[in-house]
Amino acid sequence: MRIRFGTEGFRGVIGKEFTFDVIRHLAGAYGLFLQERGETRVVVGHDTRFMAETFGRAFAAHLSGMGLEVFLLKGPVPTPLLSFAVRHLEAGGGVMVTASHNPPEYLGVKFKDSTGGPLAPESYKVLETLLLKKGPFKERPLCTRQNLHRA
């Protein structure tokens, strides 16, 4: 699947470029990215945009289905809180479902590294390569309570 990353992640119009199929592929690539670096924990958050919570839960479920320990933040949060949670929970990275300043019909994901900061440009190139070479990513079994936590 061909997904082009922009500033700090990916954004698109809900139901057009931003779909549950896209979430599955993004989660698959990011999960592999973390696992290849020996990371086992990830934090997922969302803001108040339309469908952000639903897409955030789907992203968390896919990561959990890959065997990662997922901390799903309770309720809508600002992006800086997700960054803090990544560091506080000693996670390997984080995912924020938001579209930032884009119009309301947009939604997207921002990816964070283990410092809570944005992924480096070379990391996005790795994600693009994983999407092309390892995808398409299959549906994962539903997550278990063992590795999905509310934080």
pLDDT tens-digit profile, the chain (151 residues): 578 898 889 999 999 999 999 999 999 999 999 999 999 999 999 999 999 999 999 999 999 989 999 999 999 999 999 999 999 999 999 999 999 889 999 999 999 999 999 999 999 999 999 998 887 677 665 555 555 566 5
Please count the structural domains in the chain.
1
Q: Is the residue at 45 inside a domain?
A: yes
1 assigned to some structural domain: no
Domain span including residue 53? 9-150
Strand partners, 89: none
Specify the residue for token string 């984080």: 94
pTM of the predicted model over 0.75: yes
Alpha helix segments (H runs only) across 8-135:
20-36, 52-65, 79-88, 121-134
**Residue 2 in domain:** no
Q: Is residue 39 part of a domain?
A: yes
The one catalytic residue in 83, 100, 114, 123 is 100
State the Cα angle at 22 between 19 and 28, rounded to 5°: 145
Map residue 137 onto helix, strand or coil: coil
Q: Is residue 115 part of a domain?
A: yes
50-59: burial string, b at 16+ Cβ within 10 Å, e else: eebbebbbbb
Q: What tokens were used for 149?
A: 């936590």
What CATH number is associated with residue 26?
A: 3.40.120.10
| Residue 41 domain flag | yes
Answer yes or no: is 62 within a domain: yes
Active site residue 100: yes
Query: Domain for residue 73, yes or no?
Result: yes
* Confidence (pLDDT) at 144: 52
